[in-house]
Structure 1
């Protein structure tokens, strides 16, 4: 039980581990845990839309894909030009302590290889989460988001994800809650 308690504390580190790319975007902040939460929802959606993949495996990949960053930190694309991280060691060190360690290790190896349909969908969910964040910051006036968007789209592996990215980019991120023009917005009642 001690190893499981430690695992949960380790996963909690992701709430305090910042995604580092936003410093180059010039605005925005997000923890790895916040990113993983929305990426998991996106992964579920993409898997259901696909209809032929193991939805549970996609969810697990999305949920676990950034757990090693509790040990390694989040490296953005500039960092990765200069810093070598031994993510395999981080995965192996944690896996040795977990009763499901072999499953965890195999899952992250499959995700890293990105050869299965489930892994490709999980990678797309990871990128679409970034595209959503970019769109939110673009709508708030960050002019650099337009420069980052094409690179994120080029990382997408499925046609469904590419179509969704186009829709995301064309949708006002702040209008999801404002779906009608009734008197509700004047009087606070229907």
Structure 2
């Protein structure tokens, strides 16, 4: 149980591990944990749109894909020109402490090898999460996001991911909640003067 407690503390480190690419984009900040959560949601979505794949496996690959970064940090494309991280040692060292260590190693191995449909979808979810972040910062005025987007799209491996990427890039990131011009945004009430609680004011 102590090893499992240590594992969960280690996973918690991802909340405090920054995604390092944003320093080169010039705006934005995100932890590895935040990235992994939305990646898992994207992976679930892609799996639901794909036939013959194990949805749970895709989600698991997404959740675990960046766990080694608790030990090695997040290396962006500039860092990787000069720094070689021993990710496999980080995976092996953690696995040696876990009762499900072999499954953990197999999961990370599957993700790295990109040979299963589930792994391909997980990789695409990883890139789509970055594309979503780029679109959010583009909508806030970051002009470099347009330069980064084509490279992220070229990393996508499936048609469904490419289709979703196009939809993301042509959708205003605030429209999901701010898609009407009603008086709600003035008074917090509908046209009849009633708020969410049903009370008139």
Normalised TM-score (structure 2): 0.93
Distance in structure 2 (CA, Å) of the matches to 1:94 and 1:41: 25
- Shift of residue 184, structure 1, vs aligned partner: 2.0
Equivalent position of 1:124 in the other structure: 124
Using the TM superposition, give the Cα deviation of residue 41 of structure 1 relative to its aligned residue in structure 2, in angstroms.
0.3
Name the structure 1 match of 2:183. Answer: 183
User: Partner residue of 2:195?
Assistant: none
Instruction: Answer with 170-179 or 89-98: which moved more.
Output: 170-179
The separation in 2 between residues aligned to 1:13 and 1:114, in whole angstroms, is 26
Unaligned runs of 5+ in 2: 191-201
Partner of 2:89: 89
Corresponding residue of 1:174 = 174
Q: Deviations over 1:20-75 (max 9, x none)?
A: 00011011100000000000000000001103100111011000000000000000
How far did residue 183 of structure 1 move? 3.0
- In 1, Cα distance between equivalents of 2:172 and 2:34: 21
SS at 2:49's partner residue?
helix
Structure 1's unaligned 5+ residue stretches are none
Give the alignment's TM-score, normalised by structure 1.
0.98
**Are 1:56 and 2:56 an aligned pair?**
yes
1:181 CA drift (Å): 3.1
**Greater relative contact order (CA < 8 Å, ≥ 6 in sequence):** 1
Write out per-residue CA displacement over residues 146-188 of structure 1, whole angstroms, 9 at most, x where no aligned residue.
0000000000000000010011000111221023333322331
Residues 109-159 of structure 1 show CA distances to partners (whole Å, capped at 9, x for unaligned) of: 010000100000000000000000000000111000000000000000000
List 4+ stretches of structure 1 deviating above 3 A. none
Give 1:144-183 correspondences, 5 Å limit.
Answer: 144-183=144-183
Q: Secondary structure at the match of 2:81?
A: helix
2:113 aligns with 113
Between Structure 1 and Structure 2, whose CA radius of gyration is higher? 2
For residue 50 of structure 1, give the secondary structure of its aligned residue in structure 2.
coil
Q: Answer 1 or 2: which has greater helix percent.
A: 1
